């Protein structure tokens, strides 16, 4: 990979990591569903009027919009609203890589290799460390909703694979139009009509910055650049860089919100990232052969 492309990829992972703190910044003023709804409304409009619809079934587009917009980012925003820190949220969300493997096995009948199982168990040990954190940056409600978001991201990945589209950017734009209405409805159901009546009163500079950051650098630019790099280089050269996202997420939360980073979080981060590494690169190691040799020695 060329140096400039490598630096660009690292920058995108930085944007995606710091985005969790930017979401939390917006939640200081706006309802979580309102914040997520505005994000996807601006992702779709006005670009949907200038970009051709991808050659994909509307069922796949609509289902992706609902799962990605409401199930993933609506739930992550709700989780952060309910007290899980931005840094921990960015870390827990990485479990979607393992949920995708499980769903791929169920829906697409893909075999789960031994190294992926080992990676999942390692990451679960990291979650155990997160549950034991007592510094006020983890709540059970917050953790639950982010886990729902991780599962939703996995479902969204399977939908994309089933759709088989190569026009990922256009697919994202058209899918985004299906996210705002259910998110605005959830905002109304959780907070009543005050969420709309007091909207402009609550829409301060921090909220506007949060929305614009989520729309343009994070979603539109981030996914466009990332997918461009995936087309230009082998996935094995690009995808592993996403391991930097939770690291930037924790650092961002530390610098923006002064989130404490103690030994438990460092241990949890190490185990989850290690699990992701095993999941990503494990096929290069002959785990089965090692176990067979160990068994023979025993």
Full DSSP string of 26-78: HHTTS-HHHHHHHHHHHHHTTGGGTSPPPSS-HHHHHHHHIIIIIIIIIHHHH
Give 285's pLDDT tier (boundaries 50, 70, 90): low
Query: Is the pLDDT confidence value at 80 over 70?
Result: yes
Q: What percent of the chain has pLDDT over 70?
A: 93
pLDDT (tens digit per residue) in 41-75: 999 999 999 999 999 999 999 999 999 999 999 99
- Cα 219 to Cα 98, 169, 232, distances in angstroms: 22, 10, 20
> Is the distance from CB of 183 to CB of 41 less than 8 angstroms?
no
Which alpha helices (H) appear in the chain, and where do they start and end?
3-27, 32-44, 58-65, 75-81, 86-92, 96-107, 114-131, 140-163, 168-176, 180-191, 194-197, 199-202, 205-213, 222-232, 235-238, 244-257, 263-281, 287-297
Q: 162: which residues sit within 8 A by CB, 6+ positions away? A: 60, 107, 108
Nearest residue to 40 via CA among 156, 198, 136: 156
Query: Is the pLDDT confidence value at 287 over 60?
Result: no
What is the SS3 assignment for 100? Answer: helix
Query: Exposed/middle/buried for 49, CB within 10 Å: 0-12, 13-18, 19+?
Result: exposed
Most confidently modeled range among 73-77, 243-247, 292-296:
73-77
Most confidently modeled range among 97-101, 196-200, 225-229:
196-200
Token code pair at residue 205: 């500079």
Location of structure tokens 């954190």: 133
Q: How far apart are CA 33 and CA 117, in angstroms?
A: 34
Q: 110: which residues sit within 8 A by CB, 6+ positions away? A: 101, 104
Q: 167: which residues sit within 8 A by CB, 6+ positions away? A: 54, 55, 56
Q: How far apart are CA 47 and CA 66, in angstroms?
A: 19
- Cα 141 to Cα 193, 229, 281, distances in angstroms: 24, 36, 33
Length of the chain: 298
Q: Which helix (H) or strand (E) holds 161?
A: helix 140-163
When pLDDT is averaged across residues 233-252 and rounded to a whole number, the result is 81
Query: Is the pLDDT confidence value at 24 over 50?
Result: yes
Q: Where are the beta strands (DSSP E) in 32-119?
A: none
Give me the pLDDT at residue 106, please.
Answer: 81
pTM of the model as a whole: 0.86
Token code pair at residue 209: 């910055």
């Amino acid at each position: 990979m060329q140096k400039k492309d490598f630096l660009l990829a690292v920058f995108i992972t930085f944007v995606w990591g710091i985005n969790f703190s930017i979401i939390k910044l917006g939640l200081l003023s706006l309802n979580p569903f309102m914040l997520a709804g505005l994000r996807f409304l601006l992702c779709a409009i006005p670009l949907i009027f200038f970009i051709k619809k991808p050659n994909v079934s509307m069922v796949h587009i609509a289902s992706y919009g609902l799962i990605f917009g409401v199930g993933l980012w609506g739930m992550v925003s709700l989780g952060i609203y309910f007290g899980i820190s931005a840094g921990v949220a960015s870390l827990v969300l990485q479990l979607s890589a393992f949920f995708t493997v499980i769903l791929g096995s169920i829906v697409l009948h893909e075999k789960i290799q031994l190294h992926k199982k080992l990676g999942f168990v390692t990451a679960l040990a990291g979650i155990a460390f997160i549950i034991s954190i007592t510094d006020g940056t983890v709540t059970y409600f917050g953790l639950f909703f982010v886990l729902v978001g991780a599962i939703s991201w996995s479902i969204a990945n399977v939908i994309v694979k089933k759709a088989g589209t190569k026009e990922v950017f256009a697919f994202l734009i058209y899918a985004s139009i299906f996210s705002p209405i259910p998110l605005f409805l959830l905002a109304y159901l959780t907070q009543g009509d005050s969420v709309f009546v007091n909207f402009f009163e609550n829409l301060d500079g921090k909220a506007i910055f949060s929305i614009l950051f989520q729309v343009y650098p994070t979603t539109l630019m981030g996914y466009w650049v990332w997918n461009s790099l995936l087309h230009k280089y082998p996935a094995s050269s690009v995808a592993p860089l996403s391991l930097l996202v939770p690291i930037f997420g924790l650092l961002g939360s530390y610098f923006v919100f002064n989130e404490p980073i103690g030994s438990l979080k460092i241990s949890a981060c190490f185990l989850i990232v290690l699990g992701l590494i095993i999941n990503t690169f494990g096929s290069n190691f002959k785990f089965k052969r090692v176990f067979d040799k160990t068994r023979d020695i025993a």
